[in-house]
Amino acid sequence: MTEFSRGEPCEFSCTYFCSRFNIKNPHIPLQKCRECHQMQVNRGVLMCNNCSVSYEISQDIPDFRKPQLSSKNTDKNYLTEATAKTYSLLWKKIDKRNETPRYHYNKMQEVLPGKIVQGKLGLEVGCGSGLDTHIMAKENPSVEIIAFDVSEGVYAAGYLNRKHENVHIIRASSLNLPLRGDIFDFCYSFGVVHHTPDPERCFSEMNRVLRQNGKASIYVYEDHKDNIWKRRPLQVISMVRKITSRMNKRLVYALSVIASPIIFMFFTIPAWLMGLFPKTRKLTTHIPFNFGKSPFSLQGDIFDRFGAPVELRFNRKQLDGMLKKTGFKDTQFTRLETSAGIVAWASKR
């Protein structure tokens, strides 16, 4: 047991992922598995027996980023690390709740032609603070879910999902998934790809780890070139982002808190009022920040919009071409009524 346990013991499920099968003797008695089931490395180091590359474990979560990010000092690595720091700040502000309301997963499921969660094993690409992970795991207790994020949001996600034995959380980059290929039945990603410096690589990695005909459910920002109501404000936002994306992130977050009630008053309230009348109800979907719930409910979205180091936008033709190029087929597109983005549903070829 001491060979595998370093740190404080916790309960976990080793179904599918027992490291004993990569040790010298693969024929481990079932009783030994039962003993190992009671232990988890709470903190320490996870090391590959073949190449001796090691990964730090903190608060039960292994961090697979360091060797990849430090191997080459490229612009992509710099932007990935900057994104990790930005969203680490954001997710630290999220309450560590035990129960969650409807979230992105529920809204995505309503507009997709099939079930997001399929098969026995799934991957959430960019779990943030773990709200969607929590809902998926609770509704599908027989499905194992690996969720990861590049930021310190994984620790909030680990706390929120601590009671779900079917959830396994790691810290990693979507551009370098530390996972075997052809093993996942589904991939789910909401609002992540457009914040990566290489979206094509991100799609390629999702495709690599999916089984044949495995499903991918993806939400990304839209460029709104065909919508003047949103195109003009977006141009202004893009100009402001040239400054705010380079500013100190704590200052940007403070400004987001201040701006939230102002934007709520000038955008959300008019959208509510227009929604009361049948003739203007459809126009509410064209108004930015129409989804606010209270004066300070928009601060996270504002910070996401103005603080992210990378923000890319796509149209359906561009997104379809990128998905096909990276090995997907049967792509279908739709959108969420209250979000300014595209929902894509595709299968691995």
Note the pLDDT tens digit of each residue in 80-119.
Answer: 999 999 999 998 876 554 444 568 999 999 999 999 999 9
Q: Is 344 helix (H, G, I), strand (E, B) or coil?
A: strand
Q: In the numeric block, which tokens belong to residue 94? A: 């999220």
pLDDT of residue 13: 43
Mean pLDDT for the stretch of residues 315-327: 96
Compute the C-alpha angle 239/242/246, nearest 5°.
Answer: 155
The listed CATH number (3.40.50.150, 3.20.20.80, 3.40.50.300, 3.40.980.10) that belongs to domain 75-220: 3.40.50.150
Return the number of other C-beta atoms located less than 10 Å from residue 332's C-beta.
13
Q: In the numeric block, which tokens belong to residue 171? A: 């810290």
CA 238 to chain centre: 23
How confident is the model over 24-63, as pLDDT tens digits?
Answer: 445 555 555 555 555 566 778 887 777 778 889 988 899 9
Task: Report which of 93, 248, 96, 90 is spatially closest to residue 163, judged by C-alpha positions.
Answer: 96
Which residue ranges make up each domain of the chain?
75-220, 246-307
Which residues partner with 168 through β-bridges? Answer: 146
Distance set, CA 155 to CA 20, 34, 58, 220, 285 (Å): 26, 27, 9, 24, 34
The pLDDT-based confidence of 227 (bands split at 50, 70, 90) is: confident
Burial class (CB in 10 A: 0-12, 13-18, 19+), 160: buried
**Roughly what angle, to the nearest 10 degrees, separates helices 131-139 and 104-111?**
60
Task: Report which of 246, 249, 263 is spatially closest to residue 90, judged by C-alpha positions.
Answer: 249
Report for 2-16, 59-73, 102-116: range of highest mean pLDDT: 102-116
Lookup result for tokens 């064209």 = 286
Lookup result for tokens 């561009």 = 318
Q: Measured between alpha carbons, how far is 343 from 109 in angstroms, rounded to an integer? A: 10
The identity of residue 228, as a single letter, is I
Residue pair 118/186 in contact (Cβ under 8 Å)? The answer is yes
Ranking 5-9, 254-258, 263-267, 289-293 by mean pLDDT, the lowest is 5-9
Return the number of other C-beta atoms located less than 10 Å from residue 109's C-beta.
18
Distance set, CA 159 to CA 84, 146, 168 (Å): 19, 15, 12
Q: Measured between alpha carbons, how far is 340 from 222 in angstroms, rounded to an integer? A: 6
Q: Is 185 helix (H, G, I), strand (E, B) or coil?
A: strand
How confident is the model over 269-291, as pLDDT tens digits?
Answer: 998 999 899 888 888 877 778 88
Helices (H), 210-347: 228-244, 249-263, 269-275, 299-307, 316-325
What contacts 163, CB < 8 A, 6 or more positions away?
Answer: none
How confident is the model over 130-154, as pLDDT tens digits?
Answer: 999 999 999 999 999 999 999 999 9
